[in-house]
Structure 1
Amino acid sequence: MAITKTSENKTLFLCSIGGAFEYYDFSLFALMTPVISKHFFDDSIPSVALLKTFGIFAAGYFARFLGGFYFSHLGDTSGRKKPFMITLFLMAIPTLGIALLPTYEQIGFLAPLILLLLRIAQGFALGGEAPCAMAYIHEYANEKRKSLAMGFLFGGIIFGSFFASLLYSSLNSLMSPETFYSWGWRIPFAVGGILGIIGIYLRKSLNESKDFLQCKKSNGVLKVPFFTLFQKHFKDVVLGIIILLPSSTAFLYFLLISSKTLETAFLFEKIFIEKIVTLGFFLNALFCIIFGYLSDKIKSKNVYIIGIISLFILTLISNSVFQSGSKETITIFIILMSITLGACVGSVFNILATMFSTKMRTSALALCLNTTNGLFIGITPYVFTQIATIHYFNHFPMLYISFLCLISLFLIRKLKTK
């Protein structure tokens, strides 16, 4: 049966719900790091409590590996739709649990222990959510709109970050600092849990991917797709990780953890930083869609190269911008960075999806995404914080992201599609 444009748009919307929730939680935990470190650890030494919180942040992303292996295997052997319901449930309940979790002052060491378990459960679910959604959308979309479809998917995902930042900054404006730190911080986590439960209900109407059904009908389903990946396509997986790293790391640093640096090290007002970061998320989500559309016209690879070159240039000037002390300069920089990241994200995921065939696509995407996010992005806040606080080397993020841009530009020419 032919897929109508209305049906395609509805499917895009429903798939984006889970992705939006994923990044809502990701961004919320990063934004809430100072509050979480105060409530769930002994804060007699604030820097130690902050590092422990980043450790729990990392643990959730390490759990992505296990979730990625399990859910992507399920997606490649049993269908793309099946993991959707499970992963969204496993994301929603722990987020609601964080909203209700007693603090260190109330139950002692059990508080950080339970928080760690909840983050691990979320990480396990997140490992399968995005890869299954990417494979499903890529296979479901019209041939001439695949990049646009992926742009919509990740525009929705990043809108989750925008909503987290908007809600966080709104509550900070409406509540006194004492009220927010006392109980107001729980509201965004409760909202996330409720939205996730609503998403589970809405996703029930999705149909299976036509490409997977065709693959199954022709007996093309592999018993263990990961074995084939490691045996025959390991170089493609490494290439996928490398082309993902620059934009993923830049998103984390420039739109999430650097906001705290701008506030503490460069003395910008907290309200100002919250507003420009929220604007950044919105523009990033919008330009993911715009550059997804352009990728269908001038090829995803070309858009990606333009985005990475722009990211390299902006990264090189980032420290000078931060040190300028000018609100106008910082605002322009965040706007340009958000647009640039839109070009990278709006093109890179369609590139990844076309690198692998239907029979192993979900597993390959999971391996690329979860290695990037679970191994590298998971420890990035911890490493950046350690280097800045212990070695006083604030230029490391700029040098690291610039290096990633150069490596990805050098290797993108080896790209092949299947």
Structure 2
Amino acid sequence: MNAEPGTTSTQHNKKLTKSDAKTLSLSALGGALEFYDFVIFVYFANVVGSLFFPSEMPEWMRQVQTYGIFAAGYLARPLGGIIMAHFGDLLGRKRMFMLSIFLMAVPTMAIGLMPTYASIGLAAPLLLLLCRVLQGAAIGGEAPGAWVFVTEHVSKHRIGVACGTLSAGLVAGILIGSLVATGIHATFTAQQVHAYGWRIPFLLGGVFGFVTMYLRRWLHETPIFKEMQSHKTLAEEMPIKSVIKNHLPSVFVSMAVTWVLTAAIVVTILMTPSLLQNLIDLDPTTALEANSLAIIFILIGCIVSGSLADRFGNGPIMAIFSIGLAASFWAFYSTMLQDTTYLFPMYAVVGFFVGIVGVVPAIAVKSFPAAIRFSGLSFSYNVAYAIFGGMTPMLVSTMIANDPMSPVYYVAGVSAVGVIASLAVICFSPKLDLTAGIA
């Protein structure tokens, strides 16, 4: 393949260097801290719901309202992501990388300091909604920007392991959230958590965000963007316009694999601890400990799936992990409703197959040429996440009232979409331009 603008021939056989490792490490660590800020909300959804909505509201309605505010963060992702991606394609990847973390740190700390419904009435949930919207705008630029950033620092033969490593870092943010939530519940009584303990994770998140800003000072702009800038080969029209006009097949494939990612993370990891507590009265500490173990196995699964994708191709690994996700979650969830004896090992297996999130960005980031890569990935990923990730908690919460097995059916259906998408990658990858502009 001839190198096009955004590539250099000397990079084609480049292995991961110390500089690459530093970039991956700092990007993954920063992403972990930022994802912690975004997901800590869901671990305290029950407490937040009781504090920020009227006490006379029915429990099911309070839960739907709380997850609705959670969903608002997802719905804000496309706008924030598209705007940051637009300037990331025109002005540089690093600048937007720094902006996203600032937009995350401020509202996270604000939530930790915010008065509740008992103090300021209706203003409390409205302010909470505003903070979630700002968080959503920030995270909309973070994940796509991070994937673009690291893949433009490594060889095309290392994209899978780079995306897998970075995804592991992002998921580590969820692990940090789970561990912090576990620690809060283990340290404080339920009354203390309700009174003030719930604020601690959000205040920590604000501090984590500013630490991340400091760490990212040491990152450098990507070689591919620098080369496009020097050769004046940046996008000549609005990047998002080019994405929609010229790359719709890539958009559809990227959105499909993102849907799988949302089901894997939102249902099996973020929602399952609360679902098990509500359905079978599982102790919160036990649920969160099992959840933490599952997330550790996601980290392993991310790196394994990314490495295997480099060796065997994205399509086959996407298909294998999609099938594994559906089968393992079906076995785990249906068993837990009857018997929790094997809670920890079975949840660990589910976690490993949630490692599919390591190969998803490798598919999406390769689908767009360098000049519009950030915009293409951000548009596809964030629109899909807004639709599927944002609506999933409310949809599953509503469905589960009629059938406790609804989460299983949903994950199985979306996993089938993953298999179909993997076939598209295998059969039509040349038309999707899956290596355009990658060194």
Tell me the TM-score range normalised by the shorter chain. Answer: over 0.9
Superposition pairs for residues 369-384 of structure 1, below 5 Å?
A: 369-384=381-396
* Residue from 268, 271, 284 that aligns with 2:298: 284
Greater shift, 162-171 or 219-228, is seen at: 219-228
Cα distance in 2 for residues equivalent to 1:319 and 1:154: 25
- Residues 27-48 of structure 1, C-alpha deviation per residue, up to 9 Å, x if partnerless? 3111110011011111322222
Q: Which amino acid aligns with 1:258?
A: T
Question: How big is the shift at 1:212?
Answer: 1.3
Superposition pairs for residues 87-102 of structure 1, below 5 Å?
A: 87-102=100-115
Does structure 1 retain, via aligned residues, the 8 Å contact 2:318–2:422? no
Q: Which amino acid aligns with 1:56?
A: I
* Residue from 202, 227, 232 that aligns with 1:219: 232
Partner of 2:360: 348
Partner of 1:175: 188
Cα distance in 2 for residues equivalent to 1:15 and 1:240: 22
Partner of 1:124: 137
Cα distance in 2 for residues equivalent to 1:174 and 1:48: 30
Question: How big is the shift at 1:301?
Answer: 2.6
Question: How big is the shift at 1:319?
Answer: 4.3
Cα distance in 2 for residues equivalent to 1:61 and 1:53: 13
Does structure 2 retain, via aligned residues, the 8 Å contact 1:18–1:129? no
Partner of 1:18: 30
Does structure 1 retain, via aligned residues, the 8 Å contact 2:258–2:385? no
Cα distance in 1 for residues equivalent to 2:330 and 2:288: 23
Equivalent position SS for 1:327? coil
Question: How big is the shift at 1:276?
Answer: 0.2
Cα distance in 1 for residues equivalent to 2:267 and 2:424: 28
Equivalent position SS for 2:359? helix
Question: How big is the shift at 1:154?
Answer: 0.8
Partner of 1:409: 419
Question: How big is the shift at 1:11?
Answer: 1.1
Question: How big is the shift at 1:290?
Answer: 3.0
* Residue from 244, 266, 273 that aligns with 2:280: 266
Superposition pairs for residues 85-234 of structure 1, below 5 Å?
A: 85-222=98-235, 223-234=237-248
Superposition pairs for residues 28-67 of structure 1, below 5 Å?
A: 28-44=40-56, 45-67=58-80
Does structure 2 retain, via aligned residues, the 8 Å contact 1:147–1:296? yes
TM-score by length of 2: 0.90
Greater shift, 5-14 or 271-280, is seen at: 5-14
Equivalent position SS for 2:400? helix
Q: Which amino acid aligns with 1:384?
A: V
Cα distance in 1 for residues equivalent to 2:341 and 2:203: 33
Cα distance in 2 for residues equivalent to 1:143 and 1:74: 24
Partner of 2:262: 248
- Residues 329-383 of structure 1, C-alpha deviation per residue, up to 9 Å, x if partnerless? x3222111111111x1121211111111101111111112112221111111111
Equivalent position SS for 2:280? coil
Does structure 2 retain, via aligned residues, the 8 Å contact 1:135–1:362? yes
Q: Aligned-residue CA RMSD in angstroms?
A: 1.8
Greater shift, 9-18 or 289-298, is seen at: 289-298
Partner of 2:3: none
Partner of 2:17: 5
Question: How big is the shift at 1:182?
Answer: 0.7
Q: Which amino acid aligns with 1:177?
A: A
Extract unaligned runs of 5+ from structure 1. Answer: none
Q: Which amino acid aligns with 2:406?
A: F
Cα distance in 2 for residues equivalent to 1:224 and 1:213: 19
Cα distance in 1 for residues equivalent to 2:124 and 2:31: 28
Does structure 2 retain, via aligned residues, the 8 Å contact 1:321–1:333? no
Greater shift, 160-169 or 284-293, is seen at: 284-293
Partner of 1:397: 407
Does structure 1 retain, via aligned residues, the 8 Å contact 2:35–2:171? yes
Cα distance in 2 for residues equivalent to 1:273 and 1:188: 18
4+ residue stretches of structure 1 with deviation over 3 A? Answer: 1-4, 315-319
- Residues 249-291 of structure 1, C-alpha deviation per residue, up to 9 Å, x if partnerless? 1221111112112112122222211110011112212321233
Does structure 2 retain, via aligned residues, the 8 Å contact 1:266–1:325? no
Q: Aligned in 2, Cα 1:236/1:144: closer, same or farther, shift over 3 Å? A: closer
Partner of 2:323: 309
Cα distance in 2 for residues equivalent to 1:113 and 1:137: 37
Q: Which amino acid aligns with 2:90?
A: T
Equivalent position SS for 2:76? helix
Equivalent position SS for 1:140? coil
Cα distance in 2 for residues equivalent to 1:15 and 1:92: 16
Does structure 2 retain, via aligned residues, the 8 Å contact 1:60–1:124? yes
Cα distance in 1 for residues equivalent to 2:333 and 2:178: 23
Q: Which amino acid aligns with 2:29?
A: I
Partner of 2:6: none
1:385 aligns with 2:400: no
Partner of 1:358: 370
- Residues 236-258 of structure 1, C-alpha deviation per residue, up to 9 Å, x if partnerless? 10111112212321221111112
- Residues 127-169 of structure 1, C-alpha deviation per residue, up to 9 Å, x if partnerless? 1111111111111123432211111111110001001100111
TM-score by length of 1: 0.95
Cα distance in 1 for residues equivalent to 2:395 and 2:239: 33
Question: How big is the shift at 1:318?
Answer: 4.4
Cα distance in 2 for residues equivalent to 1:410 and 1:295: 17
Q: Which amino acid aligns with 2:224?
A: D
Cα distance in 1 for residues equivalent to 2:304 and 2:257: 20
